[in-house]
Amino acid sequence: MIRPKRKVQQGEFWIARNKLAHGQASRFYDKLDETLGEMDFAPKVRELCEPFYSSGESGRPPIDPVVYFKMLMVGFLENLPSERAIAARCGDSLMIRRFLGYDLDEATPDHSSFTVIRERLTTAIYDDIFNIILEGLRRHGLLRGKNLGIDSSVMEANASLRALENRNTGEAYWDYVRRLAAEAGVDTDDAAAVRRFDKQRPERKTSNKEWVNPNDPDAKVGQAKDGATDMLYKPENIVDLDTGVIVSAEVRKADESDTAGLAERTCLATVKVGQTVTFYDADLSAHTVVADGGSFNTGSIGYLGMSAPIAMNAEGSFSYHLDGNPVQWKP
């Protein structure tokens, strides 16, 4: 017989925090917190971020940057789609509260805090903290850097096609279409007729050279995975194929080809691997770089020296082979 779970009557009013029930899944974040402690993650992050925080005592106390980066980890590990989702998850979960260092009677950071901190810190700070993570992964044997894989995808930008403006005339897209429709004798008061005209006009082309979204100039018009035209970005990851560790991640413009700057980005990824140690390590070299057909380019493959390792030298430069000849390259 099934016995439905009923709400129990409240017994003791006060319950010690250490007597709260711990779920089995909480061990993951406990172990992650222990590992970050072994890496001295918190003091290193605070030292890097200290110049960007006021030394005065006036105003509301700032959010610890360590908490901010831990919340970003939660978003990545749990595949949360937005900052709102990250903030909600951190506020609802007892195990994540413990991971962040928040007690039951403390409010976890609101999603708006992400914007404030993100605008405060520089890109170089994010790179330095990413290197701290890579250093810890290397120390635990999870970063090798010999076999790299590179791939890109597309993601929707927070921008609308309806807000496009013509770079030359400054007209909004539909104002532009209505003007052409009027010149062609179409009734511009008939919205359906204007849309039909727009679809059927032979010169119709939404070129990034001609159109721009003023709210997000870096977003580009492109084709999404489902074939629809939208405002897009192109995220690209370089991954250690032996361990699955993301060595490098960047967001590129959607109208850039996969082969543009491929060799330089791969070499910079090897630089990032080399920055995880404080001395020259002859074992830090990329022997293979794997990409899909969209990244195939004879010049790039020759430049990367697929038949020979990309080795980092003690002074921070690289040696590889181009058309059989040794080449030195320094970022």
pLDDT band at 57 (very low <50, low <70, confident <90, very high): low
Q: What is the mean pLDDT of residues 147-167?
A: 86
pLDDT band at 42 (very low <50, low <70, confident <90, very high): very high
pLDDT at 297: 53
Residue 128 within a domain: no
Domain limits for position 58: 17-121
Which of 182, 202, 229 terminates a domain? The answer is: 229
pLDDT at 309: 45
Do residue 76 and residue 91 come from a single domain? yes
Residue 236 has pLDDT above 70, yes or no: yes
Do residue 115 and residue 89 come from a single domain? yes
User: What percent of the chain clears pLDDT 70, i.e. is strictly above it?
Assistant: 75
Per DSSP (E only), the strands in the chain are 147-152, 155-156, 165-166, 211-212, 220-223, 229-240, 246-253, 285-286, 288-290, 310-312, 318-322, 325-329
pLDDT band at 97 (very low <50, low <70, confident <90, very high): very high
Number of domains present in the structure of the chain: 3
Indicate the pTM of the whole model.
0.73
Q: Between residues 35 and 268, which one has the greater pLDDT? A: 35
pLDDT at 8: 55
The answer to which of 129-138, 205-214, 300-309 has the lowest mean pLDDT is: 300-309
Do residue 88 and residue 28 come from a single domain? yes
105: left (phi over 0), alpha (psi -120 to 50) or beta: alpha
Cβ count near 77 (within 10 Å): 11
Residue 116 within a domain: yes
Do residue 24 and residue 148 come from a single domain? no
